[in-house]
Amino acid sequence: MMHKKFYILLTIVFIIATFFRLYNLGITPPGLYPDEAMNGNNALEVLHTGDVKVFYPENNGREGLFINIQAMFLSLFGNEPWVLRLVSALFGIFTVVGIYFFVWALLRRYRYALAIAFSSAFFVAISFWHINFSRIGFRAIMAPFFLVWALYLLVETFYQTKRKSNAGSQIISRDQNTDHFSLFALCLSALAGLVYGLGMHSYIAYRATPLLIIIAFFFFKKYFDVSWKRAFGIFVVFVVGALIAFSPLALYFAQNPQDFLGRTTQVSVSSSSTPLKDLGSNIVKTLGMFHVRGDGNWRHNYAGAPQLFWPVGILFLWGLGESIIRRIWKKHEQSLNIAMWISFWWILVGLLPVVISNEGLPHALRAILVIPPVFMIAGIGLVYAYEHISALVKKRAPLLVFGIVGACVLVAQAYVVYFVAWADHPHVQDAFSSKYVDIGRELNEINSGIKKYVVVNTGGVDVRGVAMPSQTVMFITDTFRKEEQEQKNIHYISSENQIPLLGDGVVFYLEAK
């Protein structure tokens, strides 16, 4: 039974997560990266035409769920960069909440279950890694959200199955009717499947997760001591729910198989002349991203900084190391054992799409799926540390004060690094194409009767005859479609040689001549 402390801690972590994902969203990050704008332009096209798609093939192809949700928000608030990012922020906030519920549900038999649930969610709430992607209009932020909530619902399904099975066995002689619970369990399993299947509409790396789900089923079956018959029933209903949610996208891929892998083959390590060497190098770089050197892209990270702030990184290593030692000496509490195994396999499966790619490693965005288990292990490490320290310091008051002060320091560090050091850095302005947003706003100020030419003198993937960087200007001016370009008298060209005699026209260059 959830008690007052559960809801107090949930409220605290929710407030922290909300603050870091919504504060100053209108100005941080600055600008609008063309990939974000591409999503926005497809969303605006949905509003103009009503043509909702499950997959948008431009820009190497993107699953459509995120874009379609963005379209709903644009219809309410208009075509501003912060509106595209608001969708990401909401997914980020409820991912943090989902981690809290999942960890608590999995560890509820353990005396420190609530402490680990809170610390795991808290670490994610203040993580630059997760804060950053919760404030950028990329669909990848949905991947950990759907996976966390699907696993939580699965845990609840197995827990309720075991609990009611035990209760039913005690009264079977007096009441043969246990079908009511069976229906409830099946509904939970179906909901878990539906949520999981929606994750297939999020990000291509998510397609590695069926392996994790299969592994999780075996662990949950054993952990909750559910019969094979009941476990198989849960699995079948889960799969049916997942297939229902995935079916629109599956049908699209069946009709357009060339879009299934998208850009994967272009960046795969298999296309390298030395695949084994590159794979080894990728593994080293990816494992080093947590503590040594993180993603070097200013759009993804405070360039080069480890993905884990060093105190949290130490707790991660502590949690991992002590779990291994306890496992060897068979002194591991069963709940923590299952949590560590799930986390281990989650990280392994989540990093597979990263290490087999050969572009921009270490890659924080591509590794976004492993954020929950990494901080879950750090949360376990914090409890281990507490157990050792409390054995030396008998009084709880100093430990409580130290914990509160430490949490405040972590919150302050997260604020300063993201909102001051990173947000104000000149490289971040360039990383998010701020000057393209400025051009778009200038164009909006010019009378539609005046001809306006935007010279897209940059490289980039071709999108309907115009290079990709133009997407930012198109979003700000709502001129992705030819109809709006003609209406607003804005013309996109690749060379100034295409400009006719100007008369009353004006010319903008994406890049200085």
Residue 393 backbone class (left: φ over 0; alpha: ψ -120 to 50; beta: rest): beta
> If DSSP codes are grouped into helix, strand and coil, which group holds residue 357?
strand
- Residue 171: its pLDDT value, please? 37
Residues sharing a CB contact under 8 Å with residue 335, sequence separation 6 or more, in sequence order: 106, 107, 108, 109, 110, 113
Are 59 and 31 contacting, i.e. CB atoms less than 8 angstroms apart? no
Which DSSP string corresponds to 476-503? HHT--SHHHHHHHTEEEES-GGG----T
Q: Which of 32, 31, 34 is nearest to 462 (CA)?
A: 34
- Residue 447: its pLDDT value, please? 92
- Residue 2: its pLDDT value, please? 62
Residues 152, 53, 249, 189, CA torsion sign? positive
Which DSSP string corresponds to 238-273? HHHHHHHHHHHHHHHHHH-GGGTSTTHHHHBGGGSS
CA 428 to chain centre: 21
- Residue 513: its pLDDT value, please? 73
Distance between CA atoms of residues 505 and 498, nearest Å: 13
In order of 81, 423, 449, 467, the CA distances from 30 in angstroms are 9, 8, 30, 22
Mean of all residue pLDDT scores within the chain: 91
Pairing of strands 62-63, 55-56: antiparallel
- Residue 141: its pLDDT value, please? 98
- Residue 164: its pLDDT value, please? 61
CA 373 to chain centre: 13
Report, as ranges of residue numbers, the positions in the chain whose pLDDT lies below 70. Answer: 1-2, 163-181, 263-267, 501-503
pTM of the predicted protein model: 0.94
Are 59 and 87 contacting, i.e. CB atoms less than 8 angstroms apart? no
DSSP 8-state code for residue 418: I
Which two three-digit tokens encode residue 490? Answer: 């804005």
Distance between CA atoms of residues 345 and 393, nearest Å: 35
Element (H, E) at 312: helix 310-328
Distance between CA atoms of residues 218 and 136, nearest Å: 36
Q: Which of 397, 380, 281 is nearest to 327 (CA)?
A: 380
In tens, the pLDDT along 386-435 reads 999 988 887 888 888 999 999 999 999 999 999 999 999 999 999 999 99
- Residue 232: its pLDDT value, please? 92
Distance between CA atoms of residues 446 and 443, nearest Å: 5
